[in-house]
């Protein structure tokens, strides 16, 4: 039967769970051992360009940059999903056209929502 599970099936799940926990715990333990709690002076020196910073180095970026990038990634990936539809367009018939139209309408609704919320405004 499809619903019959033996004890060994659950044992495999238990073994994988225990091994996952052990591997994560061992990795965190090794990281704690290898990473110094108080780095020495040389570790705290400038290393990127060699110039000593003037002022605060903790610059707080606007969340709008991240939102803009996230929207770019979402719409870029969705455009990739349209490519197989375009390749098989002649074989899909009206049902394929309807599905693609629904997909595009959902994308446009998301774009209009982001536009109305002001996410696409670059400068405030």
19, part of any domain: no
Q: What distance in Å separates the CA atoms of residue 79 and residue 21, rounded to the nearest whole number?
A: 39
pLDDT at 120: 79
pLDDT beyond 60 at 2: no
75, part of any domain: yes
42, part of any domain: no
User: How much is the pTM?
Assistant: 0.49
Residue 5's pLDDT band, with cuts at 50, 70 and 90, is: low
21, part of any domain: no
| Closest listed residue to residue 78, CA positions, set 96, 100, 63, 93 | 100
80, part of any domain: yes
Which residues form the domain of 108? 63-117
pLDDT beyond 90 at 23: yes
Query: In the chain, how many domains are there?
Result: 1
**CATH number of the domain bearing residue 81:** 1.20.58.1610
């Amino acid at each position: 039967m499809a619903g019959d599970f033996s004890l060994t099936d659950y044992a495999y799940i238990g073994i994988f769970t225990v091994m996952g926990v052990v591997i994560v715990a061992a990795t965190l333990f090794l990281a704690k051992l290898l990473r110094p709690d108080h780095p020495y002076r040389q570790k705290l020196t400038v290393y990127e360009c060699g110039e000593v910073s003037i002022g605060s180095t903790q610059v707080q970026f606007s969340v709008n940059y991240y939102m803009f990038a996230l929207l770019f990634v979402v719409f870029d990936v969705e455009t990739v999903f349209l490519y197989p539809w375009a390749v098989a367009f002649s074989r899909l018939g009206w049902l394929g056209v309807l599905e693609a139209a629904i997909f595009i309408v959902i994308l446009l609704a998301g774009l209009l929502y982001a536009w109305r919320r002001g996410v696409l405004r670059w400068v405030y």
